[in-house]
C-alpha cells in the first residue's frame, strides 16, 4: 500500500470511530448525526497532519453543545384552554463570540433538529468573519391558524423563561421558520418589560426599535450573490439562467427578487402543499403578490395559480422541472438522491442551498459526483446571520446605517465567504465548496478553542 493510501485508510478509520461515538452519544437524533458527519468528513482529511487538533480533542468537543436548555411553555388559547408546548435553546459554541442563531416555531421542532442547526450555525457564523458563536432555539408550536393574540401570549410565555439565558453579550437569538417580524416584536417587548433594559438582545427587530435595514432581504439576496460568485468563478454568469426555487417564505421570495434583479428567471416557488410553476418566469409584481399571500395573508401557494393565468399548481416538489440552477429555500431534507438525479439529467448545473441542509446526504453525493456546482447552506445562506451581526454592531454603537451601505457590506461579505471557500476547497478547475466552507468555518473556531485550553 502506498503512503498516501495508508494515510487515507487511517483517516477513514478515525472518521468511522469518531462517528460511532457521536451516534452512541446522540441516540434518536438523526439530523444532528447527519450534520456532524457532513462536517467531520471534510475536516478529518484536513487535520490528518495537524496533531494538535487531535490531541486537544477539538472535534469531540465541537460536537457537544456547551448547553442545551429545554423548558415548558404554557399559554392560553382564545377559548381559554391552557396549552403546553416545549421550548429549547441550544447554546452550541461561544468560542468566537456570543451564541447567535434563530428561533424556529414549527410542529416538527425537536432537540435533534435544533442541535443540527446550532452545530451548523457555529461554522456559518465563523465564515461571516464577524465575532459570533453558534446557537439555535425554538418550540414545537405551530403558529399557523393561531390568532395574533394567541401568538403574542405564546411568545410572551416563551420569553418569560428564555430571558434568563440570553443577553446582548451572551446569546442573541433571531427569527427562523415561523418566527418573523411579528414574533420578534412580541419577544423583544416581553424581554424589555421583564429586564427593564433596551438592548440588542434579538435581531430581526422592527425599524422603529433597533432593526437593521437589509436584514429581511439578506438571506435570499445573499444566496443569489453566492450563486453568481460560484458561476463567475467557473467562467459563467447568472444572467439568463432559469432557476428553480422552493419555499415561498422570506428566503425564497427574496431569492426570487434578487434573481430578477440580476437578469435570471425564477420559474418555481413552493410551500408544504405543493409548488407553482411559471414557465415565463415570475415577474416582480407576482413575487410581491406571493410575499403578501404568504406573509400578512398567511395563504397557500396554490392560490397563485388561481390569480395568474400563466402560473400552474402541482403537488409535490419542483425538482422535476427543467432549469439551469436550483435554490432550495424551504426546509431541511427537501431534495433526495432520486430528485438530484433528475435535476442532473435535466441539466441543472449549479445548486445553492439557501435553506438549512435542504439536500439529503445522497443528493449531495450525487451533485458532487456529477460535477454540479454545489454551494452548501452554511456558506450560501450566511448573509442572513451576517446582517444580523451588523444589526448587533449598530445596536451596540446606537447608530443606524443606510440601505446602500448595508447592501454593499452584504455583497462584500458574500464575496469574502465565497473566496474563503475557494481558498480551502480549490480543486483544479472545480471548487469543492462543501470542503472549503467546512474547513474555513472550522479553522477560526478550532484555533480559538486551542487558545482557551480545556474549556
The catalytic residues are: 136
- Residue least distant from ligand NDP (Cβ): 249
Among 133, 384, 389, 425, binds ligand NDP (CB under 6 A): 384
- For residues 273 to 312, the per-residue mask of contacts with ligand NDP, x marking binding by CB under 6 A and - elsewhere, is x--------------------x------------------
- Counting contacts by CB under 6 A, is residue 330 touching ligand NDP? yes
Q: Which is nearer to ligand NDP, 44 or 111 (CB)?
A: 111
Let me know: does 74 contact 82? Beta carbons within 8 Å. yes
Give 386's contacts (C-beta < 8 A, 6+ positions apart): 128, 130, 218, 222, 410, 413, 414
Rule CB under 6 A: choose which of 41, 128, 156, 250 binds ligand NDP: 250
The values of phi and psi at residue 307, to 5°, are -80, -40
Q: Does 156 bind ligand NDP (CB under 6 A)?
A: no
Q: Does residue 155 belong to the site contacting ligand NDP (CB under 6 A)? A: no
Q: Which of 178, 266, 375, 389 binds ligand NDP (CB under 6 A)?
A: 178
Q: What are phi and psi of 2, to 5 degrees?
A: -70, 165
Of the candidates 331, 394, 420, 435, which one interacts with ligand NDP according to CB under 6 A?
331
Using the Cα atoms of residue 429, residue 432, residue 437 and residue 438 in order, give the sign of their dihedral: negative
CA distances in angstroms from 249 to 110, 301, 328, 330, 411, listed in the order given: 21, 10, 12, 7, 22
Q: Is 437 in the site for ligand NDP (CB under 6 A)?
A: no
Q: How far is the CB of 197 from ligand NDP (least distance, A)?
A: 25
Q: Which of 173, 249, 375, 441 binds ligand NDP (CB under 6 A)?
A: 249
Query: How does strand 350-352 pair with strand 373-375?
Result: parallel
Nearest-approach distance from CB 3 to ligand NDP, in angstroms: 42
Which region among 5-13, 50-58, 175-183, 228-236 touches ligand NDP (by CB under 6 A)? 175-183
For position 449 contacting ligand NDP by CB under 6 A, the verdict is no
Q: Write out the residues near ligand NDP by the rule CB under 6 A.
A: 175-178, 219, 247-252, 270-273, 294, 329-331, 334, 354-356, 381, 384
Amino acid at each position: 500500500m502506498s503512503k498516501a493510501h495508508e494515510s487515507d485508510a487511517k483517516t477513514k478509520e478515525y472518521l468511522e470511530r469518531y462517528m460511532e461515538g457521536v451516534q452512541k452519544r446522540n441516540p434518536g437524533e438523526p439530523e444532528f448525526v447527519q450534520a456532524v458527519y457532513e462536517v467531520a468528513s471534510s475536516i478529518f482529511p484536513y487535520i490528518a497532519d495537524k496533531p494538535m487538533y487531535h490531541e486537544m480533542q477539538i472535534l469531540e468537543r465541537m460536537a457537544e453543545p456547551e448547553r442545551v436548555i429545554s423548558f415548558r411553555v404554557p399559554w392560553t388559547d382564545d377559548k381559554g384552554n391552557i396549552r403546553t408546548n416545549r421550548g429549547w435553546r441550544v447554546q452550541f459554541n461561544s468560542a468566537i463570540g456570543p451564541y447567535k442563531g434563530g428561533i424556529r416555531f414549527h410542529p416538527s421542532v425537536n432537540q435533534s433538529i435544533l442541535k443540527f442547526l446550532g452545530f451548523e450555525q457555529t461554522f456559518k457564523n465563523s465564515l461571516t468573519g464577524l465575532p459570533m458563536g453558534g446557537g439555535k432555539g425554538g418550540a414545537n408550536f405551530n403558529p399557523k391558524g393561531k390568532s395574533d393574540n394567541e401568538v403574542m401570549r405564546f411568545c410572551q410565555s416563551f420569553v418569560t423563561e428564555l430571558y434568563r439565558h440570553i443577553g446582548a453579550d451572551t446569546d442573541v437569538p433571531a427569527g427562523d421558520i415561523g418566527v418573523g417580524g411579528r414574533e420578534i416584536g412580541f419577544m423583544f417587548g416581553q424581554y424589555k418589560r421583564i429586564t427593564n433594559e433596551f438592548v440588542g438582545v434579538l435581531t430581526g427587530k422592527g425599524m422603529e426599535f433597533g432593526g437593521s435595514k437589509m436584514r429581511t432581504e439578506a438571506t435570499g439576496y445573499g444566496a443569489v450573490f453566492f450563486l453568481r460568485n460560484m458561476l463567475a468563478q467557473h467562467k459563467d454568469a447568472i444572467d439568463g439562467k432559469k432557476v428553480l426555487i422552493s419555499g415561498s417564505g422570506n428566503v425564497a421570495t427574496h431569492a426570487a427578487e434578487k434573481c430578477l434583479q440580476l437578469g435570471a428567471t425564477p420559474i418555481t416557488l413552493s410551500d408544504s402543499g405543493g409548488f407553482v410553476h411559471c414557465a415565463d418566469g415570475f415577474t416582480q409584481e407576482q413575487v410581491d403578490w406571493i410575499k403578501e399571500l404568504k406573509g400578512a395573508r398567511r395563504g397557500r401557494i396554490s392560490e397563485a395559480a388561481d390569480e395568474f393565468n400563466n402560473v400552474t399548481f402541482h403537488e409535490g416538489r419542483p425538482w422535476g422541472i427543467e432549469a439551469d440552477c436550483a435554490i432550495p429555500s424551504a426546509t431541511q431534507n427537501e431534495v433526495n438522491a432520486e430528485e438530484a438525479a433528475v435535476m442532473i439529467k435535466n441539466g441543472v448545473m449549479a445548486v445553492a442551498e439557501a435553506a438549512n441542509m435542504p439536500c439529503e446526504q445522497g443528493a449531495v453525493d450525487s451533485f458532487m459526483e456529477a460535477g454540479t456546482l454545489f454551494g452548501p447552506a452554511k456558506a450560501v445562506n450566511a448573509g442572513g446571520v451576517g446582517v444580523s451581526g451588523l444589526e448587533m454592531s449598530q445596536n451596540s454603537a446606537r447608530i443606524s446605517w443606510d440601505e446602500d451601505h448595508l447592501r454593499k457590506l452584504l455583497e462584500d461579505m458574500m464575496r469574502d465567504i465565497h473566496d474563503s471557500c475557494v481558498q480551502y476547497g480549490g480543486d483544479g478547475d472545480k471548487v469543492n465548496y462543501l470542503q472549503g466552507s467546512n474547513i474555513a468555518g472550522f479553522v477560526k473556531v478550532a484555533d480559538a478553542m486551542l487558545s482557551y485550553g480545556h474549556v
